[in-house]
Amino acid sequence: MNDTKELFMQKTAVVWIGAMLCCALWGSAFPCIKIGYRLFCITTGDVGSQILFAGSRFTLAGILTIAIGSILNKKMLVPKRGSWLKILKLSMLQTVLQYIFFYIGLSNTTGVKASIIEGVNVFLAILIASLIFKQEKLTKVKSMGCIIGFIGVILVNLTKEGMDMSMKFSGEGFILLSTVAYAFSSVTLKHFSKDENPVVLSGYQFALGGIIMIVLGLMMNGRLDVITAPGIVMLLYLSVVSAVAYSLWGILLKYNQVSRVAVFGFMNPVFGVVLSALLLTTENEEALGLKSVISLILVCAGIYIVNCQKPSDKIDNSAAL
């Protein structure tokens, strides 16, 4: 039975469909968060409500991830006694810091810019793993990929007069800081996963991080006063995005080489840009113009180049939006 399941999960069609579904879900989070703000009547400057909204999403995502993992393992997933400190550290990086910066930043920039800037998290993770944690070698090919990706990020902020002066720290700057937090969380998750179940770590860090963000949001006078059926559906959808994508990604990684699955990560910004352009046109989002397309191509090329390494040279980038 196990051999049959393993062979099924290793089929090329299954890997392609499963990985592309994960990337589509993660990419859809960019426009859906902005739509969620509108449905809950959360304004750009209402930081407390933005954090409360994010905390609600990830608390639900944690519960769903633990539930899905428990069903797949046919037993309740419970952390080891000595795992809670690891879960706390991971939740601060992967959920609290990353998404506080992300949610605030996204409310102050466009979904197109945010999705492209988020695309550099792979490069940052590799730099941190190579230069700080010494988990792998920083090769010339990887360096080339990082450079190409950052050129794409710079290009998306250029206008005819030069650098887009509308760029601000609380917008694009916060999105970039969220990628730094994600990069550190990726390396930390890789380190912790040597002795821990990654699904347990992800599920419980989501739940713990979400609760922390709810408390912070309430302390900052955050409110979700406007509760509507569409708003609840959107919140549930965003929770499902994290729970399902993380669980499915983990299953694919279990039965396949990391390099075979991780290469699909370059599709995250593709889906993010396309869905932002399609779903957020009424909110004056940037059109999917030539500049954005070229920027996206550069970012994707950089991610692809970095991922075209031997498995022994790669890091585990199983965590994402």
Backbone angles phi, psi at 298, to 5 degrees: -65, -45
DSSP string, 90-107: HHIIIIIIHHHHHHHHHT
- How far, rounded to the nearest angstrom, does the alpha carbon of residue 319 sit from its chain's CA centroid? 7
Question: Across residues 188-211, what is the average pLDDT?
Answer: 83
Q: What is the pLDDT of residues 30-89, one digit of tens each?
A: 788 889 989 999 987 788 998 999 999 999 999 999 998 888 888 898 888 888 888 998
10 Å Cβ neighbour count for 279?
17
Q: Provide the residue ranges of all domains of the chain, joining segments of one domain with +.
A: 13-313
Given this model, what pLDDT does residue 237 score?
94
Q: Identify which has the larger pLDDT, 100 or 145.
A: 100
Strands 158-159 and 162-163: antiparallel
Q: Identify which has the larger pLDDT, 151 or 210.
A: 210
Q: Mean pLDDT, the chain, as a whole number? A: 77
Cβ within 8 Å of residue 146, ≥6 positions away: 123, 126, 127, 302, 306
Residue 107 — very low, low, confident or very high, per pLDDT cuts 50/70/90? confident
The rounded distance, in Å, linking the Cα atoms of 20 and 271 is 10
Given this model, what pLDDT does residue 283 score?
47
Most confident among 80-94, 189-203, 241-255, 285-299 (mean pLDDT):
80-94
The rounded distance, in Å, linking the Cα atoms of 318 and 90 is 14
Most confident among 70-84, 116-130, 277-291 (mean pLDDT):
70-84
Residue that has been written with the tokens 């699955």 in this structure: 261
Counting every residue, how long is the chain? 321
Residue 213 — very low, low, confident or very high, per pLDDT cuts 50/70/90? very high
Cβ within 8 Å of residue 77, ≥6 positions away: 66, 69, 70, 197, 199, 200, 203
Residue 288 — very low, low, confident or very high, per pLDDT cuts 50/70/90? low
Given this model, what pLDDT does residue 320 score?
40
Residue 301 has pLDDT above 90, yes or no: no
Q: Is the Cα dihedral 284, 289, 294, 296 positive or negative? A: positive
Residue 134 — very low, low, confident or very high, per pLDDT cuts 50/70/90? low
Residue 256 near residue 15, CB atoms below 8 Å: yes
**Which residues, in sequence order, are bridge partners of residue 12?**
none
Q: Identify which has the larger pLDDT, 102 or 156.
A: 102
